[in-house]
Structure 1
Amino acid sequence: MRATPAAGERTVLGRIASVMEAFNDGHKVLSLGDLNEHTHLPKSTLHRLADQLCQVGWLERASGGYRVGMRLFELGNLAVEGSRLQEVALPHLQALAAKVGMAVQLAVLDTVDVVYLERVMVGPLRLPTRRGGRKPAYCTALGKAMLAFDEEAAQAAASARMPKCTPRTIVDPSALRTELQRIREAGIAFDRGEAFDNLVCVAAPIRRSGRAIGAVSVTGLAGRMRWNTTTEAVRGTAAAIWNATYSVQGAAGAWT
């Protein structure tokens, strides 16, 4: 049993954290009474919080109470996979940046957003992105490279509002679907100034079959991009990261 709640647990976020941490003791299902015993929060408050957490998928109703929801499981896996992918990919990103002389980025897909895991900067160019930052997937080469191999996410992106980031941003759902089909066939995605003015990008999905586990890109000024050589370099790096990731995990089936 826990002692009196800490000051932080008097906030809404603190109360939510205390509810979720109650499952740390190995209990798969907790009743309102169990949650009350762990958190010392009033049952009326717990009932309201549990309902709200069920609505966002962090908890699920189960026989006898509540259990951790699949959405929280997915987010946890995203953090674990992202950390592993970032560690394995970094030397390959550095090698790619040295080869092409431009900025290199690694990202994963979270619903319809790109989440940037790593960046390797080369030269004076500073990108308007950051590690841990987000950008809508529909307007980035990284995002389109992953959307092309995730039908559910692609449909969600095409159904959502797609404001113009630049005059070249694809904002028509039909045009986006056509673009994603081209990417599926070619295995490479381009951003010709769709996310940021004067910046272009080449990206490849990190995958063998099924959904991509991430994507890698090269970004530079429009006048400096060597499209053909950069495309091949990005493809090779994506394959190398896939092979390294599954070599570390001891899984069979590296790219050939």
Structure 2
Amino acid sequence: MLSPATSSPERTVLGRVASVLEAFDEGHEVLSLSELYKLTGLPKSTLHRLADQLCQVGWIERDPGGYRVGMRLFELGNLAVEGKRLQEAAFPHLQALAAKTGMAAQLGILDQTEVVYLERIGGGSFRLPTRRGGRKPAYCTALGKAMIAFDEEAIQTVVTAEMPRKTANTITEPGALRSELGKVREFGVAFDRGEAYEEFVCVATPIRNAGRTLGAVSVTGPAGRMRWGMASEAVRSTAAAIWNANFSVDFRAVGSVRP
């Protein structure tokens, strides 16, 4: 009997899931259960159970002809493509931001109620708990607040979920967070005053046009070293530069844009 470490991919749960998802392609956008059985070679009982579970999480969807790829996978694919593109456009501007402020410059996107850190530059003189590819709750981070402030659906999702206290400064009351987000919309800048980690503070602003937030950029570091006014202006100009570097061209055809 093979051990888990030496089992072939199709014998693992992830391998079976992958075989189901990889059965779909341009020539097989909709597959019946019997077609999935032929393409994957999985036992029918296993396949039926996997299909039900994948439907529950939105990775595939039921169709009159059987099953098709679900919207959740489409969303995740777009997130990956757009995130990579945003990261490449932002990199030189984040370098300049880190050099100007002497703080760590970070780039994030929103995935439901969490910030996904696409990039972090600087912070060599201090060690940050965040990392590229890491995640943090949106409600207690400046990057998160900068993005959800302009998305009422995201706000509702965040304030109706649990918001556990991370530090003595964490905003945990829905009304207080809504008030804070109103200030973000008014001034275009979000603050983390030691809300995720007591010893670190952060200033962030969204990368956006009049109606769409692509991500957010921030500077973060030790509380005693933050120059709030200078940092606010620096992240604003950096967000505008990132937008102009890559995204304004794409949206010119559908109307005027501004950061």
TM-score range, shorter chain: over 0.9
Q: Residue 58 of structure 2 corresponds to which residue in structure 1?
A: 57
**How far apart in 1 are the matches of 2:246 and 2:47?**
41
| Separation (CA, whole Å) in 2 of partners of 1:145 and 1:162 | 17
Q: What is the rounded CA distance, in whole Å, between the counterparts of 2:197 and 2:62 in structure 1?
A: 44
1:210 matches 2:211: yes
Amino acid at match of 1:244: A
- Report if the CA contact (8 A) 1:101-1:123 is conserved: no
Deviation at residue 62 of structure 1 after TM alignment: 0.6
The answer on whether the counterparts of 1:97 and 1:104 sit within 8 Å (CA) in structure 2 is yes
Preserved CA contact (<8 Å) 2:140 2:192: yes
Q: Is the 8 Å Cα contact of residues 146 and 211 (structure 1) preserved in structure 2?
A: no
C-alpha distance after superposition, 1:186-245 (max 9, x if no partner): 111000100101111000000012231100000011111111111001000011111112
- Unaligned runs of at least 5 residues, structure 1: 1-5
Shift of 1:86: 0.3
Q: Is the 8 A contact 2:108 2:143 kept in 1?
A: yes
> Which residue of the partner structure matches residue 239 of structure 1?
240
What value does the CA root-mean-square deviation take over the aligned residues?
1.4
Deviation track 1:166-192 (CA, whole Å, cap 9, x = no partner) reads 100000011111111111111110001
Aligned partner of 1:3 in structure 2 is none
Name the CA distance, whole Å, in 1 between partners of 2:202 and 2:159: 21
1:96 aligns with 2:132: no
Offset, 1:69:
0.5
Letter in 1 for 2:125: P
SS for the counterpart of 1:24 is coil
Q: What residue number does 1:17 align with?
A: 18
Structure 2 stretches of 5 or more lacking a match?
1-6
List aligned pairs for 1:6-45, cutoff 5 A: 7-24=8-25, 26-45=27-46
Measure, in 1, the Cα distance between the counterparts of 2:244 and 2:88.
14
Please list, as runs of the form range in 1=range in 2, the aligned pairs for 1:1-256 lying within 5 A after superposition. 7-24=8-25, 26-247=27-248, 249=250, 251-252=252-253, 253-255=256-258
What code does the residue aligned with 1:242 have? Answer: W
Change (3 A) 1:45 1:251: farther
Helix, strand or coil: the match of 2:30?
coil
Q: Distance in 1 between matches of 2:162 and 2:181?
A: 17
- Distance in 2, Cα, partners of 1:18 & 1:213: 32
- The amino acid that maps onto 2:135 is R
Q: Which amino acid aligns with 1:63?
A: P
Percent identity for Structure 1 against Structure 2: 70
**Distance of 1:154 and 1:211 partners within structure 2:** 15
The TM-score with structure 1 as length reference comes to: 0.94
Shift of 1:123: 3.5
Q: Helix, strand or coil for the counterpart of 2:237? A: helix
Deviation at 1:103, TM superposition (A): 0.4
- Taking the aligned partners of 1:184 and 1:157, their CA distance within structure 2 comes to 16
Q: Secondary structure at the match of 2:129?
A: coil
Whole-Å Cα distance in 1 between the matches of residues 55 and 135 of structure 2?
Answer: 25
Q: Distance in 2 between matches of 1:21 and 1:37?
A: 13
Alpha carbons 1:246, 1:254 under 8 Å: kept:
no
**TM norm structure 2:** 0.93
Structure 2 counterpart SS, 1:22: coil
